[in-house]
A = this chain, B = another copy of it.
Amino acid sequence: MNVHKIAVLAGDGIGKEVMPEGIRAVDAAAKRFNIGIEWTSFEWPSCDYYLKHGKMMPDDWKEQLDGYDALFFGAVGWPDTVPDHVSLWGSLLKFRRQFDQYINLRPVRLLPGVPCPLANKQPGDIDMMIVRENTEGEYSSVGGRMFEGTDREFVLQEAIFTRTGVDRVLKFAFELAQKRPKKHLTSATKSNGISISMPYWDERVDAMSAGYPEIRHDKYHIDILAARFVLSPERFDVVVASNLFGDILSDLGPACAGTIGIAPSANLNPERSFPSLFEPVHGSAPDIYGQNIANPIAMIWCGAMMLDFLGYTEAHDAMVAAVERCLVDGPRTPDLGGTASTTEVGMAIASII
């Protein structure tokens, strides 16, 4: 049996509470489908580590993690002690760039048993995949400040779009659309207002689409696209977006599907030159940490995506089916109106698997 080495990075806050349930569920699937998994836990990145060492991770983090098949990541951040941009640029955003995890993939589905904030939507009405560029674009640390401290002060912040960076995320999105029944791809843009980067993005979409004649594709400006997510989410299938637009859409989408607390995401290096990273969309949630009430479903769903990426599609499907059954039959954590603990929900899902 091929054994997959997984690095466990639980992080901060509820990351530490949901992680054991993610592991439990993956172990259950591994047992059922005969998959070899070897877990190794790290105390970093975390804000606790930062308080002790003045940095989120040791200097040789890259060497230490590079041999793993995947990184199973809880959540990082504890704004009371470490500012968010320090904790995140010191961990998650470093992984995305340095491990070239250039795809951020987020499934958004309206599931049975989940209360939907939109009126008159049925399970199945929302079923999309958001493909976000994850290494460049609007998230850059290039730029600076001039005339500091005076009335003439200003800052420049550079957004950077490379052909390599844009084309590879578009290619991934078109190929994903090709595997889905609707074969429909929507690109988020803002070329009517942001006049250099976004027309370039559109141009690359047009160039790429020539190679995929069977895919129906359209473009929406981000403002109206956000509105459409609320008004007619059923019209979207695969949605591809820049780093910032993808960030916004992949919180907005799960909000529309009522699943922001249970949404998973995968940060992928499709070439497998570096480990990919699987993390819940939710953060470390300092407000509910310590009560064992965090919903472990996002973490478990991340485990399913991880197994899928490692090649075990059946195991993925079984895990997602178990999540769906638990959403309908319970037990439920308080965020979904129940009274169960994190552990109870995790154990229930593991036993269904």
Contacts and interface: CB of A to CB of B under 8 A. Distances in A.
Interface residues of A, number: 62
A155 B93 CA distance: 21
A226 interface: yes
A206 to B, nearest CB: 13
Interface in A246-278: 247-248, 250-252, 254-256, 260
A231 to B, nearest CB: 5
B162 A192 contact: no
Contacts of A199: 85
A285 B223 CA distance: 15
Contacts of A288: none
A210 interface: no
Given A223-B252, A226-B255, A164 B193 contact: no
B247 A193 contact: yes
A160 interface: yes
A189 B243 CA distance: 15
Given A157-B159, A158-B156, A244 B119 contact: no
Contacts of A260: 227, 231
Contacts of A138: 138, 159, 193-194
A195 B89 CA distance: 9
A191 B85 CA distance: 7
B200 A145 contact: yes
A140 B155 CA distance: 13
B151 A163 contact: yes
Contact of A157 (B116, B152, B154, B197): B197
A118 interface: yes
Interface string A117-159: 1110000000000000000001111111100001111111111
A227 to B, nearest CB: 4
A197 to B, nearest CB: 4
A243 B157 CA distance: 14
Contacts of A156: 158-160, 196-197
Give the most central of A145, A151, A159, A190: most B CB within 10 Å.
A159
B85 A192 contact: yes
A230 interface: yes
A248 B230 contact: no
Contact of A143 (B144, B196, B227, B243): B196
A231 B161 contact: no
Contacts of A142: 196
A144 B196 contact: yes
A66 interface: no
A218 to B, nearest CB: 13
B251 A139 contact: no
B196 A141 contact: yes
A224 interface: yes
A203 to B, nearest CB: 10
A88 interface: yes
Given A155-B200, A193-B243, 17 more contacts: A88-B192, A117-B118, A117-B230, A117-B231, A118-B119, A118-B230, A142-B196, A145-B196, A151-B164, A155-B196, A156-B160, A157-B160, A190-B244, A223-B250, A223-B252, A226-B255, A227-B255
Top 3 A-B residue pairs of the complex, sorted by shortest distance between their CB atoms: A227-B255, A157-B197, A223-B251
